[in-house]
Structure 1
Amino acid sequence: MTTQRLRVGMVGHAFMGAAHSQAWRTVDHVFDLPARVHMAALCGRDPKRAATAAERLGWAESTADWRELIARDDIDLIDICTPGDSHAEIAVAALAAGKHVLCEKPLANSVAEARAMCRAADRARESGVRAMCGFTYRRVPALALLRRLVADGRLGRIRHVRAVYLQDWIVDPRFPLVWRLRREHAGSGALGDIGSHIVDLAQHLTGDRLSGVAALSETFVPTRLLPGAVPAARGEVTVDDATVFLGRFHGGALATFEATRFATGRKNALRIEINGSLGSAAFDLERLNELEFLDAAQPPAEQGFRRILVTEPDHPYLSAWWPPGHGLGYEHAFTHQARDLVTAIAEGRDPEPSFADALEVQLVLDAVQRSAEHDAAWTPLPARTAENTGPGPGPKPTDRGQ
């Protein structure tokens, strides 16, 4: 290991900030990295809360001004863990200042913002500055193994993808109107927050892109109590509570997606299954260290889904962790994300998923929203060209059944 350091500044210190902090604290104590991580400074809007969070999470100091953080010459990378409405402004400014950027998903609140971020990343790349979007579930070892199986042809020609992400944290109509329920802050509701994960996984795992979608969405509780309002007052929920949609991949595979925060009893139930001509595989986040795999090359009398316990040292990421059979947790995927980012920066190559990869997800989210606004009209996705990073509106919905 060299004595080179990667000095990180993080903006935001709530749920994702805590998860990212855990990763930065841990990564170079687990993996042999080409650079040591220095947690230089944390930024939060409230100075006292930011200072408290910095001490608790392991940051050397704190600030209440992200512009000040970006201007510092002792910061190499800006980690953005804020609500979506600030992603574009912070990321574009950081890249222009020569800082590497890690930005939480979804990349932005709109296609226009995501395109602007991609253009900023393209300009920064010419100076060796790197940008990555935090679709962390790619780094779950079982999902990384699934990606390997598909890439190696073990599933054959992909025919079906079915993906769901089910939560229930706002089932109670008395739950307050937090920022995630307002379009101006979150961009969308269940669709962008958790649906973006399964869209990214579906495209990443198959190595294919969606060519079109047809969607329905619903807001089950249209108004909620305003936090801290005296007397009690209600405000409008301006995002979806649930979205379901169909999709078709360029390669011909069919797909179904469901993202909801109203699946009573489901806390964080992400499941994705891929069926191919030579086999099938399925993953369930609530069984984090397992992958179900069926090899259709076996004799029919011996076929059946088998459980792979993904804890072997030759499974993705696991050579650095515990002996076989000792499972990992949710937080480990963030450590793997930090490891991959630090390594890519040190080696002078683009990390994945890039901002361009995240734009592909943003285009799907946009098409889903427009389809839902037109009663599930079939809505094609634009072809992947350099024009996708430029300005201009996306395609309009077409007649259903195209």
Structure 2
Amino acid sequence: MTSSIGVAVIGAGMAGKAHAAAFRAASTVYSPVLPEIRLVAIGDVYAPLGQEAAKRFGFERHESDWKAIAAADDIDVVSVVVANSLHREIVEGLLAAGKHVLCEKPLSDTIEDARAMADAAREAEARGTVARIGFSYLRAPGIAFMRQLIDDGRIGDVFHFSAHYWTDYGCRPDVPISWRYQGPAGSGALGDVGSHLSYIAEHLCGGVQEVSGGRFHTSITERPKPIGQVVGHSRGNVSTEMSPVTNDDYATFNAKFERCVGSIEVSRVAAGHPNSLSIEVFGSKGAARWSQTNPSQVEVMLHDELGDLAGYRTVPLGPAHPHYAGGWAMDAPGVGIGQNDLFVHQARAFLEEVAGLPEAESLPRCKSFDDGVHNMEFLAAVAESAAQGGATVQVPANAAGTTNTVGTNTQEVAR
């Protein structure tokens, strides 16, 4: 095992800050088996933002050019958290320089670029370099517990899956135009938050086989150009000049999975829902549901309950559930789990793999770039269905072959 790991994050926006904070905290969860983690650099072309993030999260310096990070001898691991269209150039450059890369989802803005990135990742892996995509919600104890209920047969044969991810960051017409609102069909709400629901659905329901009923809608067709820098979902000052919105504010579709059928709905214009992700699975023996609004609990309904007590029961998550015991300073039931915590566990899993810890003694590994390509192929099939008026479209099988094999790894409980 190496004596230390130097870390950099490229992108100092909202998600970039989440990665930076996660690397800072990664050594504080579970047992202290990682080598020293050195917080080296934050990369961002907008120097004031990058400098502020570096200072805030304890990184040694700021770099305005990602190539400086690629060339730096004191950096081993890099998170790439910038606009999707920039991923390929940066990731391929980092891998060529021998850096281990954790890339935000979706892998890119086009399938062609994503496949090229996956090719580069396989070549890098042959040289001992790790390239992974996060899929942060797979770290949620509530989702992992739902998977456990399915695998254990406690809710029986799975009948169907229902999920929505409603957000409101784009619900106001004065939100300025940015890369999030410009791209091909399917790169809007579907690519942003639907990319989460698609991998969650496969994690619970098995590999997707086909989609149908695809429908996109753009509610706000033009947005004002910003005055100054747009960071994350901020509004800021805008001009009177308008630019067209070219992708989807809303998307919905149906899908057939290995285990069941399901429906998914996503929005970035759902006023009053800043971050409402909700999933529900129905089976022959009962059902289970989980929501990001109350992420520290899972609601479970089983048919074997007494008739006058039948209905959903609330189960507070705690050490008896996956990814929980030893994972926080206070790992007692009811303490609470937030979305920021998922990034910490994601960073921890990535660093464990880079450090060479045995997989059986580690958190479940982050997903491969091939999984990232499959995620984009899933979404592309939805876009094709929408373009064909809701037609049924087949989805290619996951080349990585790992979609439905990430279990709940109890090794972490013993650490």
TM-score (norm 1): 0.89
**2:377 corresponding residue in structure 1:** 363
* 348 and 84 in structure 1: CA distance in 2 versus 1, 3 angstrom threshold: farther
Query: Shift in Å at residue 211 of structure 1?
Result: 2.7
Deviations 1:107-157 (A, max 9, x none): 111111111111111111112221221211111221122222222232332
Pairing 1:30–2:29 present = yes
CA contact (8 A) 1:42 1:59 kept: yes
| 3-state DSSP of counterpart to 2:240 | coil
CA contact (8 A) 2:318 2:324 kept: no
**1:307 corresponding residue in structure 2:** 314
**2:164 corresponding residue in structure 1:** 164
How far apart are the structure 2 equivalents of 1:228 and 1:98? Answer: 38
How far apart are the structure 2 equivalents of 1:59 and 1:304? Answer: 50
Pairing 1:238–2:252 present = no
Query: Shift in Å at residue 302 of structure 1?
Result: 4.7
CA contact (8 A) 2:42 2:50 kept: yes
Query: Shift in Å at residue 255 of structure 1?
Result: 0.9
How far apart are the structure 2 equivalents of 1:211 and 1:68? Answer: 43
**1:334 corresponding residue in structure 2:** 343
How far apart are the structure 2 equivalents of 1:162 and 1:210? Answer: 16
**1:73 corresponding residue in structure 2:** 73
Q: Quick one: which amino acid aligns to residue 208 of structure 2?
A: R
TM-score (norm 2): 0.86
Instruction: Output aligned runs, 1:38-187, within 5 Å.
Output: 38-183=38-183
Query: Shift in Å at residue 315 of structure 1?
Result: 4.0
How far apart are the structure 1 equivalents of 2:128 and 2:67? Answer: 21
CA contact (8 A) 2:146 2:204 kept: yes
How far apart are the structure 1 equivalents of 2:188 and 2:281? Answer: 26
Pairing 1:279–2:286 present = yes
How far apart are the structure 2 equivalents of 1:213 and 1:198? Answer: 16
Pairing 1:374–2:382 present = no
- Aligned pairs, number: 384
Pairing 1:202–2:209 present = no
Q: Bigger shift: 364-373 or 235-244?
A: 364-373
| 3-state DSSP of counterpart to 1:214 | strand
CA contact (8 A) 1:130 1:351 kept: no
How far apart are the structure 2 equivalents of 1:300 and 1:254? Answer: 28
* 119 and 159 in structure 1: CA distance in 2 versus 1, 3 angstrom threshold: same
Deviations 1:164-219 (A, max 9, x none): 000122222222212211117x9711001111111110011233324333300000
CA contact (8 A) 1:85 1:187 kept: no
CA contact (8 A) 1:104 1:133 kept: yes
* 155 and 313 in structure 1: CA distance in 2 versus 1, 3 angstrom threshold: closer
How far apart are the structure 1 equivalents of 2:141 and 2:400? Answer: 32
Q: Quick one: which amino acid aligns to residue 358 of structure 1?
A: G
How far apart are the structure 2 equivalents of 1:73 and 1:155? Answer: 52
| 3-state DSSP of counterpart to 1:326 | coil
**1:353 corresponding residue in structure 2:** 367
Deviations 1:64-121 (A, max 9, x none): 1111211222211110111101112111222222211111111111111111111111
**2:6 corresponding residue in structure 1:** 7
**2:407 corresponding residue in structure 1:** none
* 125 and 348 in structure 1: CA distance in 2 versus 1, 3 angstrom threshold: farther
Query: Shift in Å at residue 9 of structure 1?
Result: 1.3
* 241 and 267 in structure 1: CA distance in 2 versus 1, 3 angstrom threshold: same
* 369 and 329 in structure 1: CA distance in 2 versus 1, 3 angstrom threshold: same
* 136 and 385 in structure 1: CA distance in 2 versus 1, 3 angstrom threshold: closer
* 187 and 162 in structure 1: CA distance in 2 versus 1, 3 angstrom threshold: closer
* 312 and 224 in structure 1: CA distance in 2 versus 1, 3 angstrom threshold: same
Query: Shift in Å at residue 231 of structure 1?
Result: 6.1
Deviations 1:7-54 (A, max 9, x none): 111100110111111111111123323323211111110334322321
Gaps of 5+ in 1: 388-402
How far apart are the structure 2 equivalents of 1:139 and 1:57? Answer: 22
| 3-state DSSP of counterpart to 1:199 | helix
Instruction: Output aligned runs, 1:258-269, within 5 Å.
Output: 258-269=265-276
How far apart are the structure 1 equivalents of 2:81 and 2:239? Answer: 32
* 213 and 39 in structure 1: CA distance in 2 versus 1, 3 angstrom threshold: farther
Q: Bigger shift: 306-315 or 119-128?
A: 306-315
Q: Bigger shift: 290-299 or 363-372?
A: 290-299
Residue 293 of structure 1: which of 281, 300, 304 is its match? 300
| 3-state DSSP of counterpart to 1:375 | coil
| 3-state DSSP of counterpart to 1:320 | coil
Pairing 1:212–2:220 present = no
CA contact (8 A) 1:163 1:273 kept: yes
How far apart are the structure 1 equivalents of 2:399 and 2:102? Answer: 24
How far apart are the structure 2 equivalents of 1:264 and 1:47? Answer: 33
Name the % identity. Answer: 34
How far apart are the structure 2 equivalents of 1:152 and 1:131? Answer: 32
Q: Quick one: which amino acid aligns to residue 381 of structure 2?
A: A
CA contact (8 A) 2:177 2:225 kept: yes
How far apart are the structure 2 equivalents of 1:81 and 1:244? Answer: 26
